[in-house]
Structure formats: C-alpha cells, structure tokens
A and B are shown apart, each in its own frame.
Chain A
Amino acid sequence: MLSYNFDYYQPKSIDEAVGLYQTLKAEEKKPIYYSGGTEIITLGRLNLVKTGAVIDLKGIPECMEYTLHNHQLIIGSALSLNTFEENRLFPLLTLTSKEIADYTSRNKITLGGNICGQIFYREAVLPFLLTDSYVTIAGPNGIRKAAINEIFYCTLQLEEGEFLVQIATEEKFLMAPHLSVKKRKQWDTGYPLITVAALKKDEEIRFAFSGLCPYPFRSKQIETILNNQDLSYKDRISTSFQYLPKPILNDTEGSSGYRMFVLETTLTNIFSVLGGEEK
C-alpha cells in the first residue's frame, strides 16, 4: 500500500498524454508517466518516488503496437514483457526479457517501464542496443525519432515531459545468431548478477552488458577488441577489460572482482558458441 495518494489518468492518445503532463505539471502535481507501474508502486511504498498524478500509457494504441511493417518490427513501449515470450518475432528479445523478474511479474512489467526504470539492470534494452534500433519519443515539442545508441547513455535521455512510445528494429537483425546469458549468484531465480547479450552480424559479434555497471551499456571500443582476430579469445577478453566503464558494481549480489570473474567466463562461453575458429 502506498502512503500517499495521487490522481490517475489513462489518456487514449499521445497528444492527450503530453497535454496532460503539461497541465499537471503547471498544477505542481509532479506527474509521472506510468506503464507497468511496478517500480513506481515499489518505490512509492518506500517513499522513494512521490507524485501527485500518474499518467497511464496503456490506453494509447501506439504504445501497444506490435507489428512487422516495412521490414521493421515496431514494438510499443507499454507491452508487457510476456508479450515477447508469446510472440517470438525477435528471439533475442524473447531470450533476454524472459529472464527479467519472474513470469507473473512479467505480465505487469512493460518494455518501456523496464528501459526507463531506475534499477541497474534494465536488461530489456540490450537487444535494441545490439540491433541499432530506433526509438520514437513523444513530448511537448512533438514526436521525434532517434537512434537508441545515440540517446541511451546510462539511461534513455528523455527531456522533461517526454515518454518512450515505440522502438523499431530492422527485420534483418531479428533472426541473426544471438545469445543472452544471465548469471545469478544463487539458483535460477535469484537477483541478477550480470547479463551479457550478444548478436552476430557480418561476421562480427556485438556485445551489450547489464549488471556490470550501474547502467546497461554497449561499447564499440570493447567490441572492436573482442573482434580482433589477431588475438586469442583470452587476450581479447583481458585487453577489453581495460576499457570497461566505471564503476564496476560492488554490492551484496557480488563484489566487483567476482563480477569480473563471471564476466570473463561468460564471454568465453559466448565465444565458444558464436565465435567460430580461434586463431
């Protein structure tokens, strides 16, 4: 139960949602866009998120879209993660999202909610970073499109009053060889330690990481080293570690040293599956 009350709105269009945000902001309600709402409810219960109004995006058709159109897969931000388990048009997304939280929670957690949340992990963004996807964002200045690799830096860089509407992924990436490995400290259901997602395109492997730093990331510099065929897999991995962003997480789920150890073995496993011959 939340310790405070708020207004609840469920607009039926993008314009209505954006207009509502501006109105509620002017009324000093500190509005928040609400999709699955699990993080808002969880943090709200602890008084770590406080708002006077939530704007539920699940009534907006564009946010619920899931279609292949003009060789692009269009995915609405308010779709629940289990949508991708039931409709496997993008197998890497299915593989990654089905490791987030648990089955019942995934009926509530949405794609946009996971990507725009505050938790470290936000694994749902990894497949989109690997596939050079594009995001559609709505806000007071209208609708804009941006390459996710240009706008996702630690978090999705949204301006005040903006929200994520859709993500578009080119069809050519959907069936590319891929792997997503999630490591936990304990069992199959414990909290995450690290997740590494990988996708092979044009004989190069792309890598994206979650749980290693306080944010998910993909690094072109690290990818270049990991694909350097003049080096052994072991040397590629150890060299790439010099370019990892900081800080490496060091918490009750795992020390930074343990995370690095797990990362090394995970990358080795990914090479054995996707890497082909080692020189």
Chain B
Amino acid sequence: MNSYSANRLKITLNINSEMYEKEILASDTLLSVLRDKLGLTGAKPGCLNGDCGACTVIIDKRPMKSCMLLAVEAFDTEILTIEGLKDTPIQRAFVEQFAFQCGYCTPGFILICHALLLTDHHPTNEKITTWLSSNICRCTGYQEIENALRSVINSLPLE
C-alpha cells in the first residue's frame, strides 16, 4: 500500500523527463505543486473547478486538469507541462494562425492539441470538437485555435 501522512512528505515526480524531489502535502493539487513548489508556472490557475482547462497538463499521454489531481496521484507517471514542449508543430501553428489573444488559456490549449496529436494524427471532426471542448478561451479565439490544430493535421502524411 502507498500511504502518505498529513504531514509534509517527500515525493519524486517525473516532469518533462526530469526528476523533481519535493516536500508536499498529501492534499496539494498537482497544479499548486507545479506552480508554487517547482516554479513551473505554465499551467495556469483558472476556475480551479475543472471547467476551464487552463491548468491542463499531459500525464502518461492523456490530458489532465492539474487542479483536479492530487500531486500524490501523479507519482510514478510521466508528466508533461508546457515547459517541456520545445518548438513543436502545434506551437508553431499557434503563432502562424494567431491562435491566442491574451494567452492565458494558450498552454492548456496547446497541450490538449498536442495530446490529441500524440494519439491520433488524423482525428475526425467530432473528435476535434470533443477534445477542444474541454478548454475555454475567454477571448473567444476558438476558430483560430481550431485552425492551428487543423493546419498541423493537414501537414501530416496520411497513414
């Protein structure tokens, strides 16, 4: 059994292929550990209620809302945050397609797009809508975000 007492505990997290050892509380969310304990501020606190997706990270290739996840639950997983992406096609597409305005939702949107492309190079329209509906852009730049995703999909060879 894994057990963690309410006192401070030491945990090792695999984030962006680097191992981070940190003292946390069992009740700390992954979002708060990333931002407040590790200085990885790319995941944004938005609603803190699992609605907006600004805090999205990728865990074992699946998008997850880090405000809805205890950091202890992420033990023994591979965590990817926006800081771990370097010049990927989806990042370039967001720039080329003007897919951000204020930029607050951008890390979350880039990561959910990246996660989708990891699992499916040519998703259906329904799948694109389903995945992108997980995130909210308060500047309402949805069309440009979808255009950015589609531009990457269109650049990939048919399988």
Could you tell me which A residues sit within 8 Å of B by CB distance?
1-2, 4-12, 16, 20, 37-38, 41-42, 44-45, 52-54, 56, 58-59, 82, 98, 101-105, 107-108, 188-189
B3 close to A (CB within 8 Å): yes
| Among A38, A45, A58, A104, contact of B112 (Cβ-Cβ < 8 Å) | A104
Report whether A8 and B64 are in contact in the complex, using a CB–CB cutoff of 8 Å. Answer: no
Report whether A52 and B69 are in contact in the complex, using a CB–CB cutoff of 8 Å. Answer: no
B50 close to A (CB within 8 Å): yes
Known: A6-B27, A189-B133; 18 extra A-B contacts, CB below 8 A, are A2-B27, A6-B26, A7-B6, A8-B4, A9-B1, A20-B1, A41-B68, A41-B69, A42-B50, A45-B48, A45-B49, A102-B53, A103-B134, A104-B63, A104-B64, A105-B65, A105-B134, A108-B68
Q: Which residue of A lies closest to B108 (CB)?
A: A104
A5 and B6 in contact (CB under 8 A), knowing A59-B1, A103-B133, A104-B53? yes
B28 close to A (CB within 8 Å): yes
Chain B residues within 8 Å of A108, by CB: 50, 64-65, 68-69
What's the minimum C-beta distance from A13 to chain B, rounded to whole angstroms? Answer: 9
A5 and B26 in contact (CB under 8 A), knowing A105-B65, A189-B133? yes
What's the minimum C-beta distance from B159 to chain A, rounded to whole angstroms? Answer: 19
Q: Which residue of A lies closest to B112 (CB)?
A: A104
A42 and B26 in contact (CB under 8 A), knowing A10-B1, A188-B133? no
Write out, one digit per residue, whether chain B residues 1-34 have a CB within 8 A of any chain A CB (1) or not (0): 1111110000000000000000001111101100
Q: Which residue of B lies closest to A34 (CB)?
A: B70
Chain B residues within 8 Å of A8, by CB: 2-4, 26-27, 70, 72
Report whether A38 and B50 are in contact in the complex, using a CB–CB cutoff of 8 Å. Answer: yes
Report whether B70 and A41 are in contact in the complex, using a CB–CB cutoff of 8 Å. Answer: yes
| Interface of B: prevailing SS | mixed
Q: Nearest 4 CB-CB pairs, A to B?
A: A104-B134, A8-B26, A102-B134, A10-B2
What's the minimum C-beta distance from B92 to chain A, rounded to whole angstroms? Answer: 23
Chain A residues within 8 Å of B49, by CB: 42, 45
Report whether A7 and B5 are in contact in the complex, using a CB–CB cutoff of 8 Å. Answer: yes
Interface centre among A1, A2, A10, A58 (most CB of B within 10 A): A1
Q: Which residue of B lies closest to A38 (CB)?
A: B68
Q: Cα distance A38–B133 when bound, in Å? A: 18
Chain B residues within 8 Å of A56, by CB: 73
5 A-B pairs with C-beta separation under 8 A = A1-B48, A5-B27, A102-B134, A104-B135, A107-B63
Report whether A9 and B3 are in contact in the complex, using a CB–CB cutoff of 8 Å. Answer: yes
Interface centre among A11, A98, A107 (most CB of B within 10 A): A107
Report whether B68 and A103 are in contact in the complex, using a CB–CB cutoff of 8 Å. Answer: no
Q: Cα distance A10–B3 when bound, in Å? A: 6
A4 and B68 in contact (CB under 8 A), knowing A103-B133, A105-B50? no
Report whether A5 and B25 are in contact in the complex, using a CB–CB cutoff of 8 Å. Answer: yes
Question: Within B48-92, which residues are at the interface with A (CB < 8 Å)?
Answer: 48-50, 53, 56, 62-65, 67-70, 72-73
Interface centre among A8, A42, A101, A104 (most CB of B within 10 A): A104
Report whether A41 and B64 are in contact in the complex, using a CB–CB cutoff of 8 Å. Answer: no
Report whether A59 and B2 are in contact in the complex, using a CB–CB cutoff of 8 Å. Answer: yes
B131 close to A (CB within 8 Å): yes
Q: Which residue of A lies closest to B53 (CB)?
A: A104
